Amino acid sequence: MRASQFFISTLKEAPADAEIISHKLMMRTGMIRRLGSGIYTYMPLGLRIIRKIEKIIREEMNRSGAVELLMPLVQPAELWQETGRWEKYGPELLRIKDRHGRDFIIQPTSEEVVTDIARSVINSYRQMPVNFYHIQTKFRDERRPRFGLMRGREFTMKDAYSFDRHVEGMEKSYQIMFDTYTRIFTRIGLHFRSVAADNGTIGGTGSHEFHVIAETGEDALVYCPTSDYAANMEAAESLPPSDVRPAPAEAMQKVLTPGKKSCEDVTAFLNMPLEKSVKVIAAIRLDAAEDAPDRFAVILLRGDHDLNEIKTQKIIGPFRFAAEDEIVQYTGTPSGYLGPVGLDKKPGIAVYADHTVTVMGDFICGANEVDHHLTGVNWDRDVPLPPVIMDFRNVVEGDLSPDGKGTLAILRGIEVGHVFQLGTHYSSDMNATFLDENGKSQFMQMGCYGIGVTRIMGAAIEQNNDERGIIWPLPIAPFDIVLCPMGYERSELVRKTTDDLLAGLLEAGIDAILDDRGERPGVMFADWELIGVPHRVVIGERGLKENMLEYQGRRDDAATTVPQAEIMDFIQ
């Protein structure tokens, strides 16, 4: 590649809206261009990096036995209505209409479409396991798109979906993906960590996230340096409490009978004398019923917090928070919010906008005191459950690890990958069945696995930069090496040597670029250091007279003189 035929356009200053280093450097190097909020063009230089990331992902996915297909960006609303996500996904889902007024969405993820494929093409247990993946554009109408490619609205994801005939099979598929992700992030050359994660709104049974370690990461990770324990903060805080004490007797006496309740009744029932600083004022846990393996939670927030904060509150026990659109505001108390989860499931708690609450099924109610969460206020049971007090403080550095093998440390990370065990969550909603070895119809056991392709680009820069610019890990660098001739136009010797060297490098499969733009050395060097190319070779007449070239690695402080004949070995 010759720089004169490529497109290089660097800037001295980053635009004012670029807050973090990766966003600044991507803008300054001209790797991306903003088209709208959270929407970017990948310019030629940026696209090279994305293609290299995709290549590694594709190679490792294929090696794992997964098969590539390509599902549409635009998907009919009907499939999303089948799983209820048309309503549940909330404002992050971009909904559009065609000329006939039919509803469609731009996919934020593809569980519905892939499950629809599976239910029509898989009939027998013999056709599984199978793992379909694609690398495709996603759209999520994020509340706060920011940090360039890190939290875009349009972005590229690799998403994979496994189908198995039983739980053991699904667990095996999950493990294969876990190992594949470990290989992918290792090959890309990132410092990363996998952590146990909460299943969030997707539901299901097991989940891990992969995080690139960086100060600027949005997520807090908790780990034990002396054992294998690692979790994201939400999962860490949902562990069984270490501080278990009986609830006070009066808490046990509170009873809420089934039926329609006014908001005042529920508030009185929860009865919480709270410090103003305590944000979550109540959490109700529904006991899992046989026909509803999911557990449900209701979170009540004080009026002075907006919905935005609900998801960032601590998750206690097996609770999960209501998706935003499941939260119904009511005005019976000073503008609180009540969030039911699983309105379509039984048992559940239904909250209606007419200020009434219907309570169905068994549940345990809880209430917060400062630093503690009380559970075990029993209702509608013959035998009271053992009441407990949960430790409701933040996990802090130095806490005992839940495995008892050491103390906890906290790191910050950027979520670049996420693996989920889904079980029959989608297959049961969409009736995706197969015939097992006994000819019996069963729901498929699923897993889903995402990697943020474009986010990796930002995360890699966050982790690898200095005052001169980006320092790409070699496997995803836009170019492996840049050749900087001194007097390419002027000196026949320099030109010939540089051209030969370029040809030799390309021949050897090394991704080399020759800077023949005729820029001054200072400009040339500054540009390539900003862009972050790992190797640089300077070809000058003076050195060539002694058969010498100048080499500098991107992390080196100064150049080294290298005999011309040795340069190939030197950079490999």
> With respect to ligand ATP, which residue has the nearer C-beta, 321 or 488?
321
Assess contact for 377 and 251: CB atoms under 8 A: yes
Burial bucket for residue 84 (CB in 10 Å: 0-12, 13-18, 19+): middle
**Binding-site string for ligand ATP from residue 441 to residue 460, where x marks contact by CB under 6 A and - marks none:** ---------x-x-xx-----
Assess contact for 322 and 297: CB atoms under 8 A: yes
Report what 142 binds from Mg ion, ligand ATP, none; CB cut-off 5-8 Å by kind. Answer: ligand ATP
- Reference 484, options 444, 514, 454; nearest CA is 514
In the complex, the smallest distance separating the C-beta of residue 103 from ligand ATP, rounded to whole angstroms, is: 22
Please identify which residue in 32, 61, 122, 157 interacts with ligand ATP, judged by CB under 6 A. Answer: 157
What part of residues 387-416 is at the interface with ligand ATP (CB under 6 A)?
415-416
User: Minimal CB distance to ligand ATP: which residue?
Assistant: 452
Assess contact for 198 and 234: CB atoms under 8 A: yes
Report what 157 binds from Mg ion, ligand ATP, none; CB cut-off 5-8 Å by kind. Answer: ligand ATP
Q: What phi, psi does 475 have (nearest 5°)?
A: -60, -20
In three-state form (DSSP H/G/I as H, E/B as E, the rest C), the secondary structure along 337-363 is EECCCCCCCCCCEEECCCCEEEECCCE
Report what 151 binds from ligand ATP, Mg ion, none; CB cut-off 5-8 Å by kind. Answer: ligand ATP
In the complex, the smallest distance separating the C-beta of residue 211 from ligand ATP, rounded to whole angstroms, is: 9
> With respect to ligand ATP, which residue has the nearer C-beta, 218 or 362?
218
3-state secondary structure of 105: strand
Please identify which residue in 151, 208, 285, 314 interacts with ligand ATP, judged by CB under 6 A. Answer: 151
Report what 387 binds from ligand ATP, Mg ion, none; CB cut-off 5-8 Å by kind. Answer: none
Distances from the Cα of 397 to the Cα of 221, 321, 391, angstroms: 11, 25, 15
Q: Which residues are bridge partners to 213 per DSSP?
A: 413
Strands 512-514, 481-485: pairing is parallel
Please identify which residue in 23, 52, 418, 554 interacts with ligand ATP, judged by CB under 6 A. Answer: 418
Q: Please report whether residue 148 would count as binding ligand ATP according to CB under 6 A.
A: no
> With respect to Mg ion, which residue has the nearer C-beta, 52 or 418?
418
Q: What is the DSSP string of 429-463?
A: HTT-EEE-TTS-EEEPEEEEEEEEHHHHHHHHHHH
> With respect to ligand ATP, which residue has the nearer C-beta, 157 or 323?
157
Distances from the Cα of 182 to the Cα of 227, 264, 295, 417, 436, angstroms: 18, 51, 31, 10, 32
Of 150-158, 230-238, 263-271, 371-379, the segment contacting ligand ATP by CB under 6 A is 150-158
Report what 211 binds from ligand ATP, Mg ion, none; CB cut-off 5-8 Å by kind. Answer: none
In the complex, the smallest distance separating the C-beta of residue 457 from ligand ATP, rounded to whole angstroms, is: 10
Longest Cα separation, the chain: 95
Assess contact for 2 and 10: CB atoms under 8 A: no
**Binding-site string for Mg ion from residue 385 to residue 424, where x marks contact by CB under 5 A and - marks none:** ------------------------------x--x------
Q: What is the DSSP letter of 74?
A: E
Strands 230-232, 219-223: pairing is antiparallel
Residues near Mg ion (CB under 5 A): 415, 418
Residues near ligand ATP (CB under 6 A): 140, 142, 151-152, 155, 157, 415-418, 450, 452, 454-455
